[in-house]
Chains A and B, each alone.
With several copies, the nearest count.
Chain A
Amino acid sequence: MIFTFTDEHQQLAAGLRRFLQDKSPSAEVRRLMATEQGYDPKTWAQLAGQLGLPGLVVPEKYGGAGAGPVELALACEEMGRALLCAPFFATAVLATYALLHSGDQAAAEEFLPGMAEGTTIATLAGPEDDGAWSTEGVATRARRDGDGYLLDGRKSFVLDGHVADLILVVAQADAGPSLFAVRGDAEGLARRPLTTLDMTRKQAALTLDGVPAALVGTEGGAADVVTRTLRLAVIALAAEQVGGAQRCLDMSVEYAKIRMQFGRPIGSFQAIKHMCADMLLEVESARSAAYYAAWAAQDESDELPLVSSMAKAYCSEAYFRAAADNIQIHGGI
């Protein structure tokens, strides 16, 4: 039932939280975000080996845990709380859902087991230079080459594109925008890391110059795959934002209790107290929104398109404000 969490849910979240407290403290996040690679392969391997996290929503028949959007949301909330630097969102959300939604069983069998066990880092390359996810204006082209295809064009804003072993590329084929599997080490593929504002989540620009590729799903099928994938992915992102916002609130409240000015804790001043109260309002509301959307996804509700967008929009603004207020309360650390 909606908003009713099972013991398994709670264990998932608690276990992951413990793992991340240990493996992804602030200092480690700062260290990793300053590297070009952007994540620690050892931690990633442990996330896979100990917790099976990369395969969380991968069906069991492909070696995953077969969990649903609610479990994913809970996991993402914990990762957002820890600002985990890892290719989880690209691999385990974007690429995983894209493969599943493509309906291509052969591709699923080929790629998902490696993704689930953490040995294949994967991503979805939709946007080009304008950053739009809409498949309509895609300029990257696919041309037939024997049994396969060759891709030419540019992709940008590709999450973890600089390290991905598998890149699912949206390109125009004869029948319209289609999804293709490209190896990270494919010939003709040049990858350039982009300088990102959020250094904990790396992005890359790709140049494709006759890159060999395999069709995933059917020609002309990418629009539907991308739409359905994003619908679920933004819920995961919203949950991640809830985790981050909650951490901001926790930090603010903790600091406001111990920081003394004018002979009293700053949290006793209404200016700070009310800011914290408003943060709580927004963080809890964001959580309700993300969870509701996750349940709508789990239940395959008709509301999903609406509520997933609402959750994403609300959680983004709540996280932004929580981060800004957290800075203000800490006063410039």
Chain B
Amino acid sequence: MEETASSVRQEAREWIDENFDPDISLRVWLERLADSGWAQPGWPQQWCGRGLPPDLAAQAYAEFNRVDAPGPPAGLGVMLAAPTIIANGTDDLKRQFVRAVLIGDHAWCQLFSEPGAGSDLAGLQTRAERDGEEFIVNGQKVWTSGGQGADYGLLLARTDPDLPKHRGITYFALAMEQPGVDVRPLVQMTGESGFSEVFFTDARVPASAVIGEINGGWGVALSTLGFERTGLGAGSGIGFRLSGFGGGKLREQQENTTVGEYIEAAKTRARSFGTNSTAMIGGSVTPLVKLATDLGRGDDPQARQEIVRLHTLSSVNNWNGLRARAKVQAGGRAGAEASLGKLMSSAIARQWRAAASVIAGPQDMLAGDDGPLRGRVALQFLAAPGPSIYGGSDQIQRNIIGERVLGLPREQDPSRTLPFRELRVGTQSSKTEAPGEAS
């Protein structure tokens, strides 16, 4: 029987009527969701999905969102690890990891960037050397989001330095809980610590945990980066509005929270911030309008111009996402507008800062509880440079848009063909260097 929008909606509705229950634990709910295939209706049927095309998956999500049902835990597991493994991994790896991600058994981190390999990721230096049925890993990664809570890491390591840089890299699923892995939190300008450095000293990973082919990791990494770009920025807006939580370290909490309690708590958070994320204010003007009003600057023409400029940028970014989504729902492919969210989110962060600065005036000098919006203006000020760097800098995004969307010619890159050994990478003085630059 061919699925249609209405058949999918009806099926989902019926399943929800039967299975959704605010009184069961979040854990039980996530298991039901994973086993039914509704957790990720777009994934293949044999791997916890229902094999639906994006437009029909969107119909299903709409039903779940109608009742505020939480989806699988947000994070790199669902966003990157499982899709990468489904697309490139062995069936054993899929069995081991896909469901575990959906029910929140494993949290994942991404072990890609290094001090010497930021924009030029293929210049990575972390080595994995074969030792029987295992590989031994030595080196350093950096800018690892969620490194501290992660159970597994998506690791890129060099397995053959005699090949050109793109061709000697292998992709692993590495267990983080082992003696050879040392995770050290990095403190950001904002005082927060969202990133870590990860040091490997004879860490071990079984050969069976290779995703894709040995020395074929670059192609796998590109598929991961593709998932990442869709996830950051505007996003397609398709999915569960609310996400559950998970990871080995939160297992107990998962079992002690009911679905109903979780939904209520999420709604309270959303009310206080005008968004369901506590991490970043994003492009919301609401706090700035309040600030301007509180400071008596609501009539200031410059403050108003900056606020509207921000509101326009973030609205337009949402509209780009809606437009991409509408194309997908209509059965087409998202166009150029889908690649723009990342770049736009950098501009929005900068504009938020600019607007806040004009509005706050002298108060802009203060932080913490003394600062405007109880320190959030200062935090955003310090966080604003982030989006234009992480997940591929603005400069790299412009290269990608120019080359892949507009078809402009690439620059010649002789380093693509040199054996890796002969290549100079980073600053060649690993102690003092800075990674992830913007070129």
Contact = CB atoms under 8 A, between A and B. Distances in A.
Interface string A314-333: 10000000001001111111
A92 interface: no
B365 A3 contact: no
A3 B322 contact: yes
A268 interface: yes
Nearest to B379: A197
A235 to B, nearest CB: 13
Interface centre among A132, A198, A205, A269 (most CB of B within 10 A): A269
Given A130-B362, A292-B319, A327-B385, A280 B438 contact: no
A305 to B, nearest CB: 13
Chain A binding site: helix, strand, loop or mixed by DSSP?
A: helix
Given A276-B406, A276-B408, A277-B401, A197 B362 contact: no
Contacts of A257: 407-409
A253 B407 contact: yes
B230 to A, nearest CB: 16
Contacts of A327: 385, 389
Contacts of B428: 258, 260
B316 A273 contact: no
B118 A253 contact: no
A261 B123 contact: yes
Interface in B340-374: 340, 343-344, 361-371
A11 interface: no
A278 B411 CA distance: 18
Interface string B367-391: 1111100010010011001101110
B406 A277 contact: yes
B144 to A, nearest CB: 13
B21 interface: no
Contact of B402 (A5, A131, A274, A329): A274
A331 B437 contact: yes
B241 interface: no
B426 interface: yes
Contacts of B17: none
A80 B216 CA distance: 48
B258 interface: no
A266 B389 contact: no
A281 interface: yes
Nearest to B386: A332
Interface residues of B, number: 84
Interface string A277-311: 11011001111110110000000000000010010
Given A4-B329, A274-B398, A280-B406, A263 B415 contact: yes
A138 to B, nearest CB: 15
A331 B438 contact: yes
A259 B378 contact: no
Nearest to B433: A259
B271 interface: no
B178 interface: no
A157 B396 CA distance: 41
Given A2-B322, A280-B405, A314-B316, A328 B363 contact: no
Contact of A196 (B366, B388, B407): B366
Contacts of A288: 316, 319-320, 322-323, 337
Contact of B385 (A255, A263, A328): A328
Contacts of A3: 319, 322-323, 325-327
A259 B120 CA distance: 11
Contacts of B319: 3, 285, 288-289, 291-292
B409 A267 contact: yes
A259 B395 contact: no
B330 interface: yes
Interface in A175-229: 194-198, 203, 205
B344 to A, nearest CB: 7
A130 B366 CA distance: 12
A260 B414 CA distance: 13
A195 B390 CA distance: 28
Contacts of B386: 332
Contacts of A157: 362, 365
Contacts of B405: 277, 280
Contact of B408 (A198, A263, A268): A268
A320 to B, nearest CB: 9
Contact of B439 (A261, A289, A314): A261
Interface string B134-148: 000000000100000
B406 A253 contact: yes
B437 A330 contact: yes
B437 A266 contact: yes
Contact of B120 (A4, A262, A292, A332): A262
Contacts of A313: 308, 312
Interface string A85-121: 0000000000000000000000000000000000000
B427 interface: yes
Interface in A66-80: none
Nearest to B117: A261
A262 B166 CA distance: 11
A263 B423 contact: yes
Contacts of B406: 253, 276-277, 280
B399 interface: yes
A250 to B, nearest CB: 10
Contacts of A260: 116, 123, 424-428
Given A3-B327, A272-B439, 17 more contacts: A5-B330, A205-B370, A257-B408, A259-B426, A259-B427, A261-B120, A261-B437, A262-B119, A262-B439, A266-B439, A271-B395, A281-B340, A281-B344, A285-B344, A310-B316, A330-B434, A332-B435
16 contacts: A131-B365, A195-B369, A197-B381, A257-B408, A260-B123, A261-B118, A263-B120, A266-B437, A266-B439, A267-B402, A267-B409, A269-B439, A280-B401, A285-B344, A331-B393, A332-B390
Interface of A: 1-5, 127, 130-132, 157, 194-198, 203, 205, 253, 255-274, 276-278, 280-281, 284-289, 291-292, 307, 310, 313-314, 324, 327-333
Interface of B: 116-120, 123, 143, 295, 308, 311-312, 315-317, 319-320, 322-323, 325-327, 329-330, 335-337, 340, 343-344, 361-371, 375, 378, 381-382, 385-386, 388-390, 393-395, 397-399, 401-403, 405-416, 418, 423-428, 433-439
The 4 A-B pairs at the shortest CB distance, nearest first, are namely A263-B415, A131-B362, A195-B368, A331-B437
